[in-house]
Amino acid sequence: MHKLIITVAPVGAEVTREQTPHIPISPQEIAEEARRARDAGASIVHVHGRNADGTPTQSRAVFDEIIRLVREKTDLIVQVSTGGATGMTAEERLEPLECEPEMATLTVGTLNFGRDVFSNPQDLVERFAREIKARRIRPEVEVFDTGMLATADRLVDQELLADPVHYDFVMGVPGGIAATPANLLHLAGQARRHSSWTVAAMGRHQLPMANLAILLGGHVRVGFEDNIYYTRGVLATSNAQLVERVVRLARELGREIATPEEARRILGVPERGKMRG
């Protein structure tokens, strides 16, 4: 079994300061939170941007600043969101691809997202896949429900996505697949041969799904984007606290933790500075 790759998703687009005072907002806060998560054992940072007032943004200027600071402080793999927030235009969502990230998310279908709609019609999915491929950025295929696996297969057939595919199984979003062990087994069982996957489960589901992923040979995403609690009713005080727990659990279960350099090798992410060669 490969070493465990831990992704930290420190901010996301939806969580507010009213929900948790611990969420990082400014590029400095996000980069500092990423550094603490790296020290705790994370090897990828999944980046969303926020304006000074806390609202979500995909602005190139904000992402440039976050990425500059993250790279100054850490050797983390930088993965930008192309999902952004519901309601954003495709053009807005694509802006972070200009910031030379090593990885980018690629959501492969539309779903209800709470009371909103996370809109990813086929034309948009193909366009995003083309833009990611053209820049030689390693895609992480965001799978919010079972049917999206078949869409990823079609993208491979269209040569818009290449094997080995790396998925993120996003579980427990209201409107997406429920975060149950049976569903995770099903997703992992339907994944392409030689693929890899991580799991990002919402709220109280984060911990059990992380445990199951460690056992199954998958990888794990934690962080305030998906879950702000440490235990029932008790807020986590940092993203690093959530990473530290996964590290402890993995070690108890006999799974070693990948450094960013090891994660680059496992996922086939080109070394920084060699992206455009």
Question: Can you give the binding site for Zn ion, defined by CB under 5 A?
Answer: 81
Under the binding rule (CB under 6 A), the answer on residue 105 touching ligand KMH is yes
Q: Looking at beta carbons only, is 65 or 168 nearer to Zn ion?
A: 168
Nearest distance in Å: CB 6, Zn ion: 16
The site string for ligand KMH over 116-145 (x = CB under 6 A, - otherwise) reads --x-----------------------x---
Cβ-closest residue to Zn ion?
Answer: 81
| Near ligand KMH in 3-32, by CB under 6 A | 12-13
Instruction: Supply the minimum distance, in Å, between the C-beta of residue 271 and ligand KMH.
Output: 24
- Contacts (Cβ under 8 Å, ≥6 apart) of 187: 143, 146, 149, 167, 169, 177, 197
Among 78, 85, 125, 143, binds ligand KMH (CB under 6 A): 85
To Zn ion, the closest distance from the beta carbon of 225 in angstroms equals: 5
Q: Which one of the spans 22-30, 80-88, 125-133, 152-160 is the region binding ligand KMH (CB under 6 A)?
A: 80-88
DSSP SS3 for 110: coil
Residue 193: exposure state from Cβ atoms within 10 A (0-12, 13-18, ≥19): exposed
- Give me 201's structure tokens: 């489960």
CB of residue 1 vs ligand KMH: minimum separation in angstroms? 27
Residues 6+ positions from 50 with CB-CB distance below 8 Å: 11, 25, 26, 30, 56, 57, 62
To ligand KMH, the closest distance from the beta carbon of 88 in angstroms equals: 8
- Measured from the CB atom, is 2 or 175 closer to ligand KMH? 175
Question: For helices 122-134 and 147-157, what crossing angle results, to 10°?
Answer: 50
Does residue 83 interact with ligand KMH by CB under 6 A?
yes
3-state secondary structure of 197: strand
Q: Based on CB atoms, which residue is closest to Zn ion, 7 or 74?
A: 7
Task: Let me know: does 4 contact 214? Beta carbons within 8 Å.
Answer: yes
The listed partner (Zn ion, ligand KMH, none) that binds 85, CB under 5 to 8 Å by sort, is ligand KMH
Q: Would you report the helix, strand and coil content of the chain in percent, each value rounded to 5? A: 40, 20, 40
| Closer Cβ to ligand KMH, 11 or 247, answer by number | 11
- Picking from 169, 176, 102, 164, the residue whose alpha carbon sits closest to that of residue 136 is 102
DSSP-derived secondary structure letter, 257: B
Q: Which residues bind ligand KMH (CB under 6 A)?
A: 12-13, 81-83, 85-86, 105, 107, 113, 118, 142
